């Protein structure tokens, strides 16, 4: 360890792409990448052409990007308002990040840095909250979930009451949760509403376009809530790294203070703008994806060895039935390895597998390859 580096960073390792593709050149390999919940579809070529034209004709590469993201924030506000009765969202309610990851880090900096706060997460959930907190030296308090993956609200409440030094300042939830796919229930929402004003509630709606459930309509009454969304999933723009936060203007102003001045490239801003303009086209494939999800889920559920959970997102979580923990983790690892060897990448996580719903062909291969792997293991 270099002597000038913070000693607590020694035990952390760099985040790598779960499929192991990090750092490798982007080539078209015959691999089904069902491990990161991206859309199976690239942007349609007519949309790419429009982007390319914009790049050629309108972007001056010698100029810094629009650091205020004005056009993009207006377009996002308009989009978010479509799901609201009273359309009260304005650009002042929006902050844009280099992926939602940047927004998560900004929120951690704004609330907990310098030993003033801890965060609370209910596992299994999105790993990035904990990873980013650790890089900032922020303590992470974890609680569990029920067999149906509802947050252990009693344990969470107790943790909030008993954690001092530093106290819990932020609760992170995903709606619907990753990797398990369940949306927040009425009782979970009731608990979140009961949290005191000095605790920030971050509701990550990365999969909103698939679930069509959102808490945005409540934000006006809840100054301690913030919603995160992303262009990386349903909008097919994972390559461009664009996420956004929705909250009251006072909270948005804080995020704007913390972010890097030019956190988004001009090209990424234009890509997100074009995606929003073309949203009818891009989001038009979601019903088909949901049909694919139902088919895949049903077919997986027919296998006697698999426990398949309902999902409100574009992935399916499953576990092995009737195995003890040790056995299960061995089986899961070998299942995962065999899937990988046959060309399907999935995510092994918290004692289960999370499989992204892909194209029709990919989903058929997932079923065949999983079946073959289970057969081989005598399951």
Ligand X SMILES: *Cc1c(COP(=O)(O)O)cnc(C)c1O
Interaction site with ligand X (CB under 6 A): 37, 99-101, 126, 174, 178, 204, 206, 230, 232-233, 238, 243
Q: Residue 7 CB, nearest distance to ligand X (Å)?
A: 28
Nearer to ligand X, 99 or 124 (CB): 99
Choice between 43 and 206, CB closer to ligand X: 206
The contacts of residue 104 (CB under 8 Å, 6+ apart) are 128, 129, 132, 172, 202, 228
CB 177 within 8 A of CB 125: yes
* Residue 346 near residue 336, CB atoms below 8 Å: yes
Asked whether 369 and 343 are in contact (CB, 8 A), the reply is yes
Closer residue to ligand X in complex, CB, 212/334: 212
> Residue number with the shortest CB distance to ligand X?
99
Residues 342, 332: Cα–Cα separation, whole Å: 15
Integer Cα distance of 155 and 163 in angstroms: 12
Least distance to ligand X, CB of residue 301, Å: 23
To ligand X, the closest distance from the beta carbon of 262 in angstroms equals 17
Q: Write down the least CB distance from residue 175 to ligand X, Å.
A: 9
Closer by beta carbon to ligand X, 102 or else 373: 102
Q: Of 36 and 74, which CB lies nearer to ligand X in the complex structure?
A: 36
* Least separation in angstroms between CB 229 and ligand X: 8
- Smallest distance from ligand X to CB 206, Å: 4
CA–CA dist 149, 8 (Å, integer): 31
Number of Cβ within a 10 Å radius of residue 338: 17
* Whether residue 124 has a cis bond before it, omega within 30° of 0: yes
Coil, helix or strand at residue 349: strand
Sign of torsion, CA 64 67 69 71?
negative
Nearest CB to ligand X, comparing residues 104 and 308:
104
């Amino acid at each position: 360890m270099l002597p000038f580096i913070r000693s607590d960073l020694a035990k952390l390792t760099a985040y790598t792409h779960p499929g192991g593709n990090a750092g490798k050149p982007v080539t078209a390999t015959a691999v089904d990448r069902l491990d990161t919940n991206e859309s199976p579809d690239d942007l349609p070529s007519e949309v790419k052409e429009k982007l390319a034209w914009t790049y050629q004709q309108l972007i001056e590469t010698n100029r810094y990007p629009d650091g205020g993201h004005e056009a993009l924030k207006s377009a996002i506000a308009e989009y978010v308002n479509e799901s609201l009765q009273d359309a009260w969202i304005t650009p002042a309610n929006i902050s844009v990040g280099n992926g939602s990851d940047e927004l998560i880090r900004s929120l951690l900096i704004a609330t907990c840095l310098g030993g003033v706060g801890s965060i609370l997460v209910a596992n299994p959930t999105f790993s990035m909250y904990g990873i980013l907190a650790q890089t900032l030296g922020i303590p992470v308090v974890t609680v569990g979930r029920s067999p149906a993956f509802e947050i252990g609200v009693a344990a969470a409440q107790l943790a909030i009451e008993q954690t001092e030094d530093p106290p819990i300042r932020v609760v992170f939830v995903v709606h619907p949760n990753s990797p398990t796919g369940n949306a927040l229930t009425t009782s979970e929402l009731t608990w979140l509403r009961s949290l005191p004003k000095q605790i920030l509630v971050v509701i990550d709606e990365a999969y909103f376009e698939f679930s069509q459930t959102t808490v945005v309509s409540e934000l006006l009454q809840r100054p301690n809530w913030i919603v995160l969304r992303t262009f990386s999933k349903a909008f097919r723009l994972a390559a461009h790294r664009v996420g956004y936060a929705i909250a009251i203007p006072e909270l948005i102003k804080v995020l704007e203070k913390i972010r890097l001045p030019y956190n988004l490239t001009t090209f990424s801003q234009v890509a997100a703008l074009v995606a929003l303009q073309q949203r009818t086209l891009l989001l038009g494939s979601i019903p088909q994806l949901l049909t694919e999800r139902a088919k895949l889920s049903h077919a997986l559920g027919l296998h006697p060895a698999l426990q398949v959970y309902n999902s409100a997102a574009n992935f399916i979580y499953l576990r092995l039935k009737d195995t003890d923990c040790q056995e299960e983790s061995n089986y899961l690892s070998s299942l995962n390895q065999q899937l990988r060897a046959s060309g399907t990448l999935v995510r092994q996580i918290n004692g289960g597998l999370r499989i992204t719903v892909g194209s029709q062909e990919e989903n058929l291969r997932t079923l065949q390859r999983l079946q073959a792997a289970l057969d081989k293991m005598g399951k």
